[in-house]
Amino acid sequence: MSYVPPHMRNSTSTTIDNNTISTSNSHSNNNNNSLFNPSRRTSAAPPPSRFLSAPDPLFPPWQPSQRVSRMNPHQIEEVRLRLNLDVTSDSPAAPTPIESFTDMCLDPSIMKDIAYHDYTRPTSIQAQAMPIALSGRDLLGCAETGSGKTAAFTIPMIQHCVAQTPIRRGDGPLALVLAPTRELAQQIEKEVKAFSRSIESLKTAIVVGGSNIEKQRSELKAGVEVVVATPGRFIDHLQQGNTSLSRVSFFVLDEADRMLDMGFEPQIREVMRSLPDKHQTLLFSATMPVEIEVLAKEYLSSPVHVKVGKVSSPTTNVLQNLVKVSENEKIDRLLDVLVEEASQAEKSGHPFPLTIVFVERKTRCDEVTEALIAQGLSAVSLHGGRSQGERESALHDFRSSSTNILVATDVASRGLDVTGVSHVINLDLPKTMEDYVHRIGRTGRAGSTGLSTSFYTDRDMFLVANIRKAIADAESGNTLSFATGKFARRKEKEAAAAQKEANIAVSKNMGIGAASVNIEDKYKFMMSASNNKGEGTADSAWDD
């Protein structure tokens, strides 16, 4: 299929009104609802975009500086090599990577905000992804954790919005970003605001579960240029007719793979199917499983694939420690590490380094936090079982360093960017390498270095072998990545379970079963909690 730029795509086939959403997820439980059911539109809502005569093209031509335009293929290749960029594209060729913001010929207001935030030069993913996005192309972007993927789509998105006819009351947004967690969505919206602080006319809305739906409804109905949302709540608003996709011409899925894992694939597919013909789509993640590539093949139009360095692997900015422990000594060992950190900090006169402790389950999260507080440490917990207000206040305390330890489930493992996190501790290892990559990526961000400490027991040997391999690969410069995605995760879990079974059989034969485990009284409640059947796992915390 040859490439058709978004502004050349046929806009007369925007037959979105008849599309219905499949409602396998609890967030959208009305099977008869159409996302765009005209009867659900408010009278203030505009007619579908095909009836609008847009005075301005949706995708005005964008050109980089003369200097960049004059680069020859050899020079382009040299830049890609230097920036560790792997770029593939059907015709036409991918736009040239740009190593300075000035050469990107951005709106002067955006340039002012980039300077305000002290971004002096683009990161590798930004250098290549931004020109692709600015030229209206679809994109599949994969770069390691903390490499600046957010600005890579945020800045071109703002530039795109500035070029559109203004939003009127009742219009849907011009740009839509979907992200898997409330915290990540809020962070992205902040970044949109940060790079559009000089553009008063650009309004944003954050649309996530757990927050006041009335306020969101009135913001959406009043009309905003950019919506950043978690999928469940956004679909709710679509179904209620509070917003529409009819003006969305810039669509981003951040941490796309995670949203598919969460069961939002039908909804995401429906949104992608229902977008007006004139739009561009950008998909980003640090791990890019095959399911995403399949989705991209179906819905993206000749996307440019950009990979930076070794994808789907732990960032090399983090020094990874693996510590073998028994289940019942985990908390003591955690306290040892944290108390030592506190005393080092005191000796050196530095503040206690910001530390994230990942645990497997919600209740364990609260209990570990209580145990740390009982030892005089300053800790807060973050998980999907807490109210939205509690989640926000925990993250606020941690971001402002008024609390230096965040104990969290995997709800904090994706995308969260907290400046100054220097240590990630896996009290419980995650089930898969993919989650491990995202978790330890909360440190060692934006070129800084970080440390991770992972406690493991016999039951984690499968994952530990993979981690060791990843560390060895990184040291030897091996560029092969491990497989990610739903199927790969299932296989990984099955293999891990088989190994666990084998270990249990061996220990039974040796007469060392669970009965011999001696749990200190003070931690007994944690063991029982984590063994408690029916309690939500970390995955069920993703309840946006």
Contact positions toward ligand ATP, by CB under 6 A? 119, 122-123, 126, 143, 145-151, 286, 415, 417, 419, 441, 445-446
Complex with ligand ATP: residue 252 or 365, whichever CB lies closer: 252
Query: CB of 44: closest distance to ligand ATP in angstroms?
Result: 36
Distance, in Å, from the CA atom of 275 to the CA atom of 264, rounded to the nearest integer, reads 17
Q: Counting beta carbons within 10 angstroms of the beta carbon of residue 94, is it exposed (0 to 12), middle (13 to 18) or buried (19 or more)?
A: buried
End-to-end CA distance of the chain: 37
Distance, in Å, from the CA atom of 460 to the CA atom of 430, rounded to the nearest integer, reads 9
Complex with ligand ATP: residue 147 or 454, whichever CB lies closer: 147
Query: CB of 441: closest distance to ligand ATP in angstroms?
Result: 5
Query: CB of 6: closest distance to ligand ATP in angstroms?
Result: 24
Complex with ligand ATP: residue 57 or 447, whichever CB lies closer: 447
Which residues are paired to 361 by β-bridges?
Answer: 537
Which residues are paired to 307 by β-bridges?
Answer: 86, 142
How far is C-alpha 217 from the geometric centre of its chain's CA atoms? 25
Complex with ligand ATP: residue 138 or 417, whichever CB lies closer: 417
Helix (H) or strand (E) holding 82: helix 73-82
Query: CB of 99: closest distance to ligand ATP in angstroms?
Result: 11
Query: CB of 511: closest distance to ligand ATP in angstroms?
Result: 45
Query: CB of 149: closest distance to ligand ATP in angstroms?
Result: 3
Distance, in Å, from the CA atom of 345 to the CA atom of 250, rounded to the nearest integer, reads 46
Complex with ligand ATP: residue 242 or 454, whichever CB lies closer: 454
Distance, in Å, from the CA atom of 271 to the CA atom of 253, rounded to the nearest integer, reads 11
Complex with ligand ATP: residue 284 or 352, whichever CB lies closer: 284
Query: CB of 291: closest distance to ligand ATP in angstroms?
Result: 18
Complex with ligand ATP: residue 286 or 318, whichever CB lies closer: 286
Query: CB of 143: closest distance to ligand ATP in angstroms?
Result: 6
Establish how many alpha carbons lie within 13 A of residue 426's alpha carbon, considering only the half-sphere containing its beta carbon: 34
Complex with ligand ATP: residue 308 or 365, whichever CB lies closer: 308
| Nearest residue to 424 (alpha-carbon basis) of 291, 270, 319 | 319
Query: CB of 420: closest distance to ligand ATP in angstroms?
Result: 10
Residues in the chain, overall count: 544
Complex with ligand ATP: residue 126 or 281, whichever CB lies closer: 126
Query: CB of 284: closest distance to ligand ATP in angstroms?
Result: 7
Query: CB of 293: closest distance to ligand ATP in angstroms?
Result: 18
Query: CB of 181: closest distance to ligand ATP in angstroms?
Result: 11
Three-point CA angle 489, 492, 496, nearest 5°: 140
Concatenating the DSSP letter of every residue in 212-257 gives: -HHHHHHHHHH--SEEEE-HHHHHHHHHTTS--STT--EEEEETHH
For residue 397, count other CB atoms closer than 10 A to its CB: 17
Complex with ligand ATP: residue 223 or 444, whichever CB lies closer: 444
Complex with ligand ATP: residue 150 or 249, whichever CB lies closer: 150
Concatenating the DSSP letter of every residue in 411-440 gives: GGTSS---TTEEEEEESS--SSHHHHHHHH
Contact predicate 432/457, CB 8 Å: no
Strands 304-308 and 85-88, sheet pairing: antiparallel
Distance, in Å, from the CA atom of 149 to the CA atom of 125, rounded to the nearest integer, reads 7
Which residues are paired to 306 by β-bridges?
Answer: 87, 141
For residue 436, count other CB atoms closer than 10 A to its CB: 25
For residue 358, count other CB atoms closer than 10 A to its CB: 27
The region, left, alpha or beta by phi > 0 then psi within -120 to 50, assigned to residue 170 is: left
Complex with ligand ATP: residue 142 or 425, whichever CB lies closer: 142
Q: What one-letter code names the amino acid at 55? A: P
